Every structure is written in structure tokens, then in C-alpha cells.
Amino acid sequence: MASESNGSRSESVTTLNSDSIAVEMPSQPRKVALITGITGQDGSYLTEFLLGKGYEVHGLIRRSSNFNTQRIDHIYIDPHNVNKALMKLHYADLTDASSLRRWLDVIKPDEVYNLAAQSHVAVSFEIPDYTADVVATGALRLLEAVRSHTTDSGRIIKYYQAGSSEMFGSTPPPQSETTPFHPRSPYAASKCAAHWYTVNYREAYGLFACNGILFNHESPRRGENFVTRKITRALGRIKVGLQTKLFLGNLQAARDWGFAGDYVEAMWLMLQQEKPDDYVVATEEAHTVEEFLEVSFGYLGLNWKDHVEIDPRYFRPTEVDNLKGDASKAKKVLGWTPKVGFEKLVKMMVDQDLKIAEREKLLVDAGFIAAEQQP
């Protein structure tokens, strides 16, 4: 599925693409965006958003034995269809500096969005070296590639660095752009390094580089090993009889949960400003894992206490108790506000995972697949 072709920056002549994504008709040549982490949750929503704005989008993907492009398959068009294929994929890796610089030189993007990461907090305790190499040093490699490209070409590239509310760690809420960081995991510490690398390159070299400190953002496309999706995925299977128990850790951890589809607009807005800056993006509401359970299980008429058990293995070595963002700067400067509230987000995820569980149940009953070994 990956392509190394570099399409022309032609003007838009249609208002809808083949997947009915509304496309603006630019009077100027198309803007070109480069996204690392394009196959992730945020990358897929950002790609849809930018295609809707009339962009040509290039994504960097890691080589794998199996394709991991499910989140963007619905908007993929074979690059041989030159007039319609406005999203193109290229092999690269944040651990490979030469590939980053090469694709910058070939693609010549106007905007770069660094969304790639080993983003699972619990996993970062198990593979800390790799997490730091990708999340921290990977961001540094990409920043240096942008700097050297702009120096050699004279072009201006606007750069977005994906930060995380985990950087605040044990600092009491609400957390804003001026709140001190106190990371509590290798992932969070690596994100702090990437944040300050971005600030340094902005101040030292004059790069248009922004940090988006995004609080927890979820969707039906969230990875299944993240607690919100773990809950809704298990809930769907419990509802149709494929599973009876769900094992979790700290139910009192509170998070500021928003919808990923809303948050990618804030990323884009940061790069449309006259000056680069850093912004917290959040709903300004915090809810505990227990509240998430109450809303999700209650939506399907179930009592979560009948199915949830606590497993000590899911507690972190250092817990983060409460993250709640202060997004007043983003509201004032960017004009951004979230559109999807907490309950709507939870129900959106439950609806999707119930459909998946129902399809899985049909296949199990028909003997096409074996039921997974679930308690």
C-alpha cells in the first residue's frame, strides 16, 4: 500500500472525493502536509480533516510484516489514480534520520505533524529505551531534518509536535501551558524532552514550531489496549455473551477525556497562526475510570460491578491521579472549543464496539472463528 510517488500540487477541481469527504476548492496550489503516525488514531482523523481542507497529505509508515493501515483504508486511493490520490504513504521511521531528511527533500511539505510515538504509558515502563528513542530522540531527529532542509532550501516549514497531558504527571490540576511538568513514566519524560527540543529549535533557529499539549482524547479508533477502548471492547463482548469479566487497575484515576476528531482541528489551527506557540487542548472536565464504567455499562443496561475485577498488574509503578486541562488559551487565541462531550463520546465508542462484538458473535456461532480465551 505504501507509495513513493510525489504527486503534483494541482488546484482542487472537485468538492467531494470518492469517500464523500467535503473538499475545499483552493485558489492557490494545494498545501502539502507530512504526517508521522498517520496510521494511528490521531493521524487518521487529521488526514481526513486535511483532505477536507484541500491538502495533499503524505504519511510516513514503519515497515511491518502486516499492514497496520486499517484506520486509513477507507480514504486510501491507489497512487496510480493521480487525480484522486491525495494521500500518499512512504516508508520511514523516527529512528532513521536519513529517511526523515530524504522524504522532506522529496515531498517538500508546507506543514509537518509529528504524531508518531510509542504512546502507551504502561508499555513504556517495559520498553523505556525504545520509548525514549522514538518519542524523545525521534522528535529531535525530525526537528533537525526540518531545520537542515529549511536551511538548504530556504523554504519555510511549519512544525507541530504532539505533546501529552502525561507530562504534568503529579502536578495538581488544572494544568495549563504555564504549569510545571512532573512526568511519572518513561513515556511522559520522553514527551517532556520532545516538548523542550521543540521550544529550543523555535528559539535557537527561528523554526515555526508548536507544541500541542493534548489531554486524553479517545474515539472508536482508539487502540484496544488503552483503558477506554479496553472497557468498551469488553463491554460489547459481555453484552453478546462472548466474555464475562473485565480486569482493570486504578478506577479512581481521573482524566480529561475528549474526542480525537475534535482535537485534530486544534493541531491545524496552531499552524495557521502568525506566530508559533504552545497550547493546551482539553475539555476542562475530569472523569474517573469508574465514571467511564458507569456511563458505558449503564448505556447497555448492565452493572459494571458484576463484571469488573481489579488486577494489581494494571497499576503503574508511579500513578497519575488527576489530569484536567485549562484550555482557555486555545479558546481565546485559536477560537477552538470541543464539540463532543463526555457521555456522547462514551456512547459513540460503545455503539461501535457493540457492532464489532455482534459480528464476532455471528462468526463464532457459525464456526468460522473460535471464541477467544476470555474469562
Kindly tell me the burial class for residue 137, based on how many C-beta atoms sit within 10 Å of its own C-beta (0-12, 13-18, 19 or more): middle
Cell of 287: 472523569
Marked catalytic residue, from 166, 265, 284, 291:
166
Catalytic residue check, 164: yes
Catalytic residue check, 113: no
Marked catalytic residue, from 45, 55, 159, 187:
187
Marked catalytic residue, from 164, 165, 190, 296:
164
Residue 302 CA to residue 304 CA, distance in Å, equals 6
Q: Is 299 left (phi over 0), alpha (psi -120 to 50) or beta?
A: alpha
Residue 365 CA to residue 359 CA, distance in Å, equals 10
Residue 104 CA to residue 160 CA, distance in Å, equals 15
Residue 93 CA to residue 37 CA, distance in Å, equals 10
Nearest Cα residue to 241 out of 358, 367, 373: 358
Sign of the CA dihedral with 327 first, then 284, 227, and 184 last: positive
Where in 236-290 does DSSP place strands (E)? 246-248, 254-255, 258-259, 278-281, 287-288
Catalytic residue check, 166: yes
Residue 271 CA to residue 209 CA, distance in Å, equals 8
Catalytic residues: 164, 166, 187
